[in-house]
Structure 1
């Protein structure tokens, strides 16, 4: 049992799970806009997500002496280096437009972890914006990167998709914000710190409703896409309902973060059976 738990913890802490979530959202964009899957791009997004997340989480720890690190952290360090090399390979074979957007998103990740130029603070420490920086990065990576090679201009459907994706990631972050309420310093001004847990959850429900309403403004309304979206909004709302400060160890980091994976699975099932 301890081996299984350690394996799950390593899987989560090494950011493989969150990378699968980001790749799932990216694949959804390909399917929803009827574009053939670009596997090289999906591999870049997968390895790039692992590299970025592990850099943010473990940049400070990496300064410690190697001998002082736990076995899992040493494994994650080596794994992150390999993912960085793999991500670099899949990036250099992309188009200039993809590389440009990837660099911009990479700078967001960099300044999320390290101080901004001429400042002692990073984006993560700026009051009240952490959750929105993450949502913006996810929306850009999972909507713009898959579409940039296949579009000539930004259409209203793409703007709606970007906004929906941004809002969904904000909602998915709320259980993490509530979980971290007992750890976050007051200066972070997270939503639960500012308005409380219950009002944070109510805000989440409102955002889910906005996401649903936005779907009706798509120029091309696809029933299968709508049904999969409704299912995932209900699932996300259920997780939000169960959110509390005292959470199980895997409630947010595994189950909530699995929502994009569930969404992709539901869409594929509907495409095959409806």
Structure 2
């Protein structure tokens, strides 16, 4: 049991779970637009997510304590190094256009963590944190697979991109509510500015916007709408259940599992 718990903690802390969530959202885009799978792109995004997230989470800690890293942090550092190696290799297997967009999104991630102007990173600029995360996730999970398949960017594409941003911002709110005890007040996250109750109301509003924009698309299939309603309801339940003091895995496992559940429902009920 002890080893199983250690493995599970490593699975969460090394960002494998969030990487699977991101890949699940990419697959949803592939399903929605009925485009071909590209295994190189999926692996590129998987390894890129692990590399990017672990850099954002652990780079500062590793820099300060590189001589006395905890055992599990050293393991995560080594794991991230191999993932970066896989990322570099897979970069040779995808198109230049995809690489250009991935580089742009990668730079946003980089400057999210390291200082850009006046010793500030994008995360520390008031109000930007959740927007940067939403743009990067939507860019990776909507635009990258469509650029790979050379799908023209029509109204449906941009509506999907906007929906994905609203979904990611809603998924981020339970984390921001959890982190209220730790975040610098200068960050001005949504729960810091609005309070927990109003932040939840805003999240529900985001979910309503997702549903409304779905009706603006060229064609809406019944099964797709049903699955979307289930996922939006699930997101709403977890959002409304978010508290300052959460269980260890409430946000980092259960909330981040929602995209995986969405993808599985697609496979079971639609594909």
> TM-score, normalised on structure 1?
0.96
Partner of 1:49: 49
Render the CA deviation track for 1:99-143: whole Å, top value 9, x for unaligned. 000000110011011111x42100010011101100100000000
Q: Distance in 2 between matches of 1:131 and 1:154?
A: 25
Kindly state the Cα deviation for residue 36 of structure 1 after the two structures are TM-superposed: 1.4
1:201 and 2:238 matched: no
Q: Distance in 1 between matches of 2:187 and 2:64?
A: 26
Q: Distance in 2 between matches of 1:63 and 1:197?
A: 34
Aligned to 1:35, what secondary structure does the other structure show?
Answer: coil
Question: How many aligned positions are there?
Answer: 271
Partner of 1:268: 267
Q: Distance in 2 between matches of 1:15 and 1:125?
A: 22
Partner of 1:188: 187
Indicate conservation of the 8 Å contact 1:19/1:50, yes or no: yes
Task: State how 1:32-43 maps to structure 2 within 5 Å.
Answer: 32-43=32-43
Q: Distance in 2 between matches of 1:229 and 1:161?
A: 12
Q: Distance in 2 between matches of 1:119 and 1:96?
A: 33
For structure 1, list consecutive stretches of 5 or more residues without a partner in the other structure: none
Partner of 2:130: 131
Kindly state the Cα deviation for residue 77 of structure 1 after the two structures are TM-superposed: 0.6
Partner of 2:165: 166
Render the CA deviation track for 1:216-274: whole Å, top value 9, x for unaligned. 111021222211111100100110111111100000000000010000001111025xx
Partner of 1:88: 88
Indicate conservation of the 8 Å contact 2:142/2:160, yes or no: yes
Partner of 1:79: 79
Render the CA deviation track for 1:129-172: whole Å, top value 9, x for unaligned. 10110010000000000000323531000000000000000000
Q: Distance in 2 between matches of 1:225 and 1:191?
A: 30
Indicate conservation of the 8 Å contact 1:92/1:99, yes or no: no
Indicate conservation of the 8 Å contact 2:36/2:149, yes or no: no
For structure 2, list consecutive stretches of 5 or more residues without a partner in the other structure: none
Q: Distance in 2 between matches of 1:151 and 1:158?
A: 12
Shifted more, 58-67 versus 104-113: the winner is 58-67
Shifted more, 219-228 versus 51-60: the winner is 219-228
Q: Distance in 2 between matches of 1:169 and 1:251?
A: 16
Q: Distance in 2 between matches of 1:182 and 1:119?
A: 26
Indicate conservation of the 8 Å contact 2:224/2:270, yes or no: no
